[in-house]
Amino acid sequence: MRILFVGDVHGKPGRRILKERLPRLRSRFEANLVIVNGENAAGGAGISADVAQELLASGADVITGGNHTWHHRDAFELLDAETRIVRPLNYPAGTPGRGSAVVAAARNTTRVAVLNAQGRVFMPVPIDDPFRILRAEVDRLREQTPVIVVDMHAEATSEKVALGWYLDGKVSAVIGTHTHVQTADERVLPEGTAYITDLGLTGPTDGVIGVDREQILQRFLFQMPIRFETAKGPAALHGVVIAVDPESGRATSIRRLQVPA
């Protein structure tokens, strides 16, 4: 089976290219499941009910989140109501939403578990240890399906690499998100877990990780607070296609995608 995972969708430009390109990509790679990170999809920060429906209508089967997931107030109710959206599972008990979902894959009898976790290194929110919490949730979900995909939303490369090794052989893929710059370290680890440190950005290419470059330059030059806006101009879609043996849950390949506007 094949799983298409699309990197962080940023604002309207990201949603536009997702809508334009995702159907053809799904057909081209015969993807059984599409996962989209949408934590910056609504105006460049967070997700809203309208935007979530737009991503699902564009072809996403599961939407993952991150540290900006709760930026819009209506996300609280959305996360509790929509089972196809997962937020980082290592937030405290009682946080709106859920950290994992088990969904049906198209044209395949095997179900797929999708987990979302957030790193702690260089991240401002004091949250629980993603390593131990992910391991416990993976052990629980393996009773339901051998195909498990983890979105590790983290700042530090070392934390994501370490998690890949920690879960090697226990999940089908550990996929890094958050930093918006696609890395070139995709590989299948020795025990069968597909890994990449960061999927990259689905959104504007002429900004700074999706944000208007002049605003970012002003921030670096003068260190004054400024409201960030999504960059304008051309956009690109970044992601990976993962091939997984549905019987064992072991990945057999991972391929990076870079799709220009």
Residues annotated as catalytic are 68
Residue 160 neighbours by CB distance under 10 Å:
26
Both structure tokens of 31: 């993807």
Please choose, from the candidates 141, 66, 139, the residue with its C-alpha nearest in 3D space to the C-alpha of residue 100: 141
Annotate the chain with DSSP letters as a single string: -EEEEE-EEBHHHHHHHHHHHHHHHHHHHT-SEEEEE-TBTTTTSS--HHHHHHHHHHT-SEEE--TTTTSSTTHHHHHHH-TTEE--TTSPTT-SS-SEEEEEPTT-S-EEEEEEEE--TT-SS----HHHHHHHHHHHHTTT-SEEEEEEE-S-HHHHHHHHHHTBTTBSEEEEESS-S--S--EE-TTS-EEES---EEEESSSBTTB-HHHHHHHHHH-------BPPS-EEEEEEEEEE-TTT--EEEEEEEEEE-
3-state secondary structure string, 79-117?
A: HHHCCCEECCCCCCCCCCCCCEEEEECCCCCCEEEEEEE
CA atoms within 13 A on the CB side of 140: 12
